[in-house]
Structure 1
Amino acid sequence: MAEHDAERGYLLDNRQSEAGIRFGALSELFDPVTFRHVDRLGVTTGMRCWEVGAGSLSVPLGLAERVGPTGKVVATDIDVSWTEGVTDGVVEVLRHDVAADPPPPGGFDLVHARLVLVHVTHRAEALRRMVQALRPGGRLLLEDADPGLQPLLCPDESGPEQRLANRLRSGFRALMAARGADLTYGRTLPRLLRESGLEDVQADAYFPITSPACCVLEAATVRQIRGLLVSEGLATDDEIDGHLANVATGRLDLATAPMVSAWGRRP
C-alpha cells in the first residue's frame, strides 16, 4: 500500500504519525475483499507469495497463515519502517522499489499489490516486473483505486457539511494527481493484465459507502495532508477544522474511491 516513485514523493508517507491509523483503517475496509480473492485463487500450503508495497502487516501475515511453514511470503516496500514486530522467519521483509529493482528471486505462485500502482509513476514497468516474477501457472492479483469512477467523499451531497467534504476530497485528488497518481488506473487493470500475457483475467470492484473505518481513514488522511491543503490554497485551517469536527460526529455517510481487484494467471 505504500510503494512509490521516490523522486516524486509519496503524498501519504509511511513515517508520518497518521500512517499507522490509515493502514489500520485500510486493513479493516479492504482485508476481507483481498482475502476473498486470495482464497478464491487457491493460495494454500507450500506456496510462495510476494506482497508488493506492503505498508503494514495484515496482508503478509494473512498470506503466511495460508502458506504455512513450508511456504514463503516476501513483503517489499520502499519504506520498511512498519516492519517492527515481524516474527523472524514468518515473513521476509525487503526494502525494494518495484519499478526499479529486480523482483525477489525464486518465482512466485502469487504476486499481490493493493493500492500501490496508482501511486507509482513508472507503473507499466512495475507491472512488467511483477508479471516476470510469476512462476508458470502463478497468479497476479492487483487491487487499485479508481477515484475517477466515484470521486465524491459523500455521494449523498445533502447539505453544507457534505459539500465541504467533497470539496476537500477534490483538493486531495488534485494533490495526488500533481504527484503522478493516475486517478483512473483501477478501471484499466483487466486490460493491462491481458496485455501482459496473463490468461483467465477477471475483475470486480468494491467500495463502502458508510463505515466507521471510512471516518477513521478520512480524519487520518486529512490530518496527514493538512499542511499541503492549506499551502496549496485548497482549504483554510478553519475549513479543515470544521470538516474534522463533522467527520467526528459519525453522521456523514463517507465513501472511499472504488477499489478494483483484477487477477490473471501466467501461462
Structure 2
Amino acid sequence: MPESPPQDPYVFDRTWAREHERLTALEQVYDGASTERLAALGVAPGWACLEVGCGAGSVARWLADRVGPTGHVLATDLDPRFAGDRGPAQLTVRRHDLLADPLPAGAFDLVHARALLEHLPQRDEALRRLVAAARPGGWVVVEDFDIEGPMGEAVARYWPADHRLPAERLYRALTAAFAAAGADPGYGRRLPDALAGAGLTEVGARVHGPLVGGAGGFLPLTLRQLRAPLLATGLITGPQLDELIGVLDRPQARYLPNLMVTAWGRRPH
C-alpha cells in the first residue's frame, strides 16, 4: 500500500482567499519593530541577507533597498507567490523548504526569520540550519509570538474592559489550536535560550506589543482564518468567536494583538 504524503503541519490554510491580505496586515503591525532591529544591527550596502519565510515580502524588499546594488537578498518561502516579482535586481525570491532543501553554508551577513520557527515541530533543526547559513561574525535574527498562558492573559488586559474574560478564553483556544498542529505557541519567550544553545553569542531580545485598532487588521483576519481549528478545541463557540471578531472590527476599538519576541545573536568567528 503506498504511503500517504506527509501532512503540512502549518495551522494556517495557505489557500485561504484572504491569506495575502492577512500577511500584509501582519507586516503593517510588526514591520516597524523588525526593521528597527535589523537597522540597529548594521545592515548596510554590500551585505548578503537571507530572509526565510518571507510571506508577502515587505522585509525582503526593505533589506534589498538597504543593501543596495552591491548587496544581495535571498528571500524564501514554501509559498512565495505573495512576495511576487517586485523589487530591485539584488532581490531573489525562491520557493524553498527550510527543512528539506539546501542553503549556502556560511554565506550571509544576516539571516532573518519571522513567525516561522514556532510552526515547525523540528524547530531545533530549522534553527541549526539558519545558524549554519550565517557567515562567521554574521547575525541571526528570529522573531516568534508568545501567546501562551500568562502572556495571553496579559494581552487580554488591553482589550475593551467588557471583553477581557472572553479574550482570555480566546487566547486559551489559540494556544490549544497551535499546539494541536505541532506549533509552539510560547516559542517566542524560548528564543534567547534557543539562540544561545545554537552557539550564538551577543544574544539579546525584546518584546513588541503595539496597541492597534480598526477593521480588517491582522488579528481579526487571523481569527477568521483559524475559525475551524479554534472551534475544534472546544474552548470557544462560534457565537463567542463572532462576537470577539465584531469587537475587533469596530472603528473605535483599541486592543493588543499577539506579542512578538525579537531575538538576535551573532555567529562566532
Distance in 2 (CA, whole Å) between partners of 1:249 and 1:214 is 6
Higher alpha-carbon deviation: 180-189 or 243-252 = 243-252
What percent of counterpart residues are identical? 38
> Residue 18 of structure 1 contacts residue 223 of structure 1 at CA under 8 Å; is this kept in 2?
no
Given that 1:145 and 1:257 are in contact with CA atoms closer than 8 Å, whether structure 2 keeps it comes out as yes
What RMSD, in angstroms, separates the aligned Cα atoms of the two structures?
Answer: 2.3
Asked whether the equivalents of residues 71 and 90 of structure 2 are also in contact (C-alpha less than 8 Å), the reply is no
Matched with 2:237 is 236
Residue of structure 1 in register with 2:30 after alignment: 30
Shift of 1:253: 3.7
SS in 2 for 1:212: coil
Relative distance call for 1:158 and 1:225 in structure 2 (3 A) is: closer
Equivalent residue, structure 1, for 2:163: 161
Distance 2:160 2:26 in 1: 26
Give the Cα–Cα distance (whole angstroms) in 1 for the partners of residues 199 and 244 of structure 2. Answer: 46
Equivalent residue number for residue 74 of structure 1: 74
Partner of 1:223: 224
Are the structure 2 counterparts of residues 25 and 37 from structure 1 closer, same or farther at C-alpha, using a change threshold of 3 Å? same
Residue 168 of structure 2 aligns to which amino acid in structure 1? N
- Change over 3 Å in CA distance of 1:106–1:189 after alignment to 2: closer
Give the 3-state SS of the residue equivalent to 1:151 in structure 2.
Answer: helix
The amino acid of 1:203's aligned partner reads A
1:206 offset after TM fit, Å? 1.3
Where does structure 1 lack aligned partners over 5 or more consecutive residues?
1-5
Alpha-carbon distance in 1 for matches of 2:159, 2:74:
43
> Is the 8 Å Cα contact of residues 109 and 138 (structure 2) preserved in structure 1?
yes
Shift of 1:156: 4.3
Aligned to 2:199: 197
Specify the alignment match of 2:260 in structure 1. 259
Contact 2:159-2:254 within 8 A present in 1 as well = no
Q: How does 1:1-267 map to 2 (within 5 A)?
A: 7-87=7-87, 89-104=89-104, 107-148=107-148, 150-152=151-153, 153-156=155-158, 159-208=161-210, 210-212=211-213, 216-267=217-268
- Is 2:170–2:236's contact at 8 Å kept on the other side of the alignment? yes
Q: Secondary structure at the match of 1:143?
A: strand
Q: For residue 159 of structure 1, report the CA deviation from its aligned partner.
A: 4.8
Aligned to 2:3: none
Shift of 1:256: 2.4
SS at 2:156's partner residue? coil
Check the 8 A contact 2:49/2:63 in 1, yes or no. Answer: yes
TM (normalized to structure 2)?
0.88
Q: What is the one-letter code of the residue matched to 2:201? A: E
Give 1:101 shift: 2.0
Q: Is the 8 A contact 1:157 1:163 kept in 2?
A: no
Structure 2: any 5+ residue segments left out of the alignment?
Answer: 1-5
Q: Secondary structure at the match of 1:202?
A: strand
Query: Are the equivalent residues in 2 in contact too, given 1:109–1:138 (CA < 8 A)?
Result: yes
* Number of residue pairs the alignment of both structures matches: 261
- Cα distance change of structure 1 residues 167 and 90 upon mapping to structure 2, 3 Å threshold: same
